[in-house]
Amino acid sequence: MVRNCELCLERRAALRRPKTAQKICRECFYTAFETEVHEIIIKYQLFKEGERVAIAASGGKDSTVLAHVLTELNKRHSYGLDLFLLSIDEGITGYRDDSLETVKRNEVQYGIPLKIVSYKDLYGWSMDEIVGEIGLKNNCTFCGVFRRQALDRGAAMMKAQKLATGHNADDMAETVLLNLLRGDIARLSRCTAIVTGEDGALPRCKPFKYAYEKEIVMYAYFKKLDYFSTECIYSPNAYRGFVREFIKDLESIRPRAILDIIKSGESFRIIPTTKMPVQGNCERCGYISSQRLCKACVLLEGLNRGLPRLGISKAQSFQVSSDGNNDKRKNVVHERSKSRLVQHNIK
């Protein structure tokens, strides 16, 4: 039996909110979703009037809904923001080239400009070429490191003062669990922050921090938004994917579990005696880094030397210098790898 909306009590209920279990109509859902995002923006003071804000746009559901909602709220509540879309072309044939077409249509639909930055232009490598070198096992490491830096570089090119990303509540919960499983204390201490990089040139903010992925999908579906829904062809075995499935199982049993995990992450406190990495700047490219060279430069050096795996494992995460002073260390790593291979073949 179809019931009336639990909020307006007039229109027929069209959906059941995964976050609250309320049976509501579409109009009340739109209002509730947008109001919650607006309240988060105001509560945490994510933006200041007159700021130039880059919206990280991949063409997927999260970034498309973020672009739509921020555009609407900017007009409705007179935020006074100068918005633009920022997309990264990783160079993945059959995936990113198609999703970028969606972003180009969003540029027209929302009436805000678009900037596209490519891996090929920034690093001299496309993801297709990187996968050709490294294979499918560790390609997400390269893409994640390069993408983060590419977003910052693209935003700097466009003189943005803030970067807004579409990370949702599911993403936040996944990240908490990932950092716990990896024992990554440094990231665990800041992974639930709604704004990161406040001390740097480009703070990042997450207006969807408490928005469920299912509700974002519902919003995009009922609003008939134009978005790209195909998963990346290179990420079927990504570690995050297994954690995502676990989160979905938890949600099916207890929907509140997603917010509880985020709350747990927010409550973590690092004891004062814990040694934390000191943030500095990469000697080569100037990007933020706790090492002499940033991870992107280390990975890129390995690719350019024909040794793409050098920057991945802990045993191989040394800082490579451009003048070749680390050739001896590179040879030690190579010899260790050969030794392990021989031992494996003997067994």
245 and 294 part of one domain = no
117 membership: H or E segment, kind and range: strand 114-118
With the C-alpha atoms ordered 204, 205, 208, 209, is the resulting torsion angle positive or negative?
A: positive
Structure tokens at 6: 């639990």
223 and 300 part of one domain = no
Range of the domain at 229: 29-269
Residue 8 inside a domain? The answer is no
Note the pLDDT of residue 329.
40
Contact present, 239 and 178 (Cβ < 8 Å): yes
Note the pLDDT of residue 341.
35
How many domains does the structure of the chain reveal? Answer: 2
pLDDT (tens digit, 0 to 9) for every residue of the chain, 347 residues total?
A: 568 999 999 999 999 999 999 999 999 999 999 999 999 999 999 999 999 999 999 999 999 999 999 999 999 999 999 999 999 999 999 899 899 999 999 999 999 999 999 999 999 999 999 999 988 888 888 999 999 999 999 999 999 999 999 999 999 999 999 988 888 877 787 889 999 988 778 999 999 999 999 999 999 999 999 999 888 888 766 778 889 999 999 999 999 999 999 999 999 887 777 777 787 888 988 888 888 889 999 999 999 988 888 777 533 443 333 344 444 443 433 444 334 333 433 33
188 and 295 part of one domain = no
Residue 24 inside a domain? The answer is no
Closest CA to 227 of 147, 166, 160: 166
55 and 116 part of one domain = yes
Query: Which of helix, strand or coil describes residue 347?
Result: coil
237 and 293 part of one domain = no
Residue 34 inside a domain? The answer is yes
- The pTM (predicted TM-score) of the whole model is 0.85
99 and 227 part of one domain = yes
306 and 207 part of one domain = no
Residue 320 inside a domain? The answer is no
Note the pLDDT of residue 231.
84
b (16+ CB within 10 A) / e for 298-315:
bbbbbbeeebbbbbbeee
Structure tokens at 334: 């190579």
Residue 289 inside a domain? The answer is yes
Note the pLDDT of residue 189.
77
Residue 187 inside a domain? The answer is yes
Q: What is the 3-state secondary structure (H, E, C) of 42-98?
A: HHCCCCCCCCEEEEECCCCHHHHHHHHHHHHHHHHCCCCCEEEEEEEECCCCCCHHH
Separation between Cα atoms, residue 314 and residue 306, nearest integer Å: 19
174 and 248 part of one domain = yes
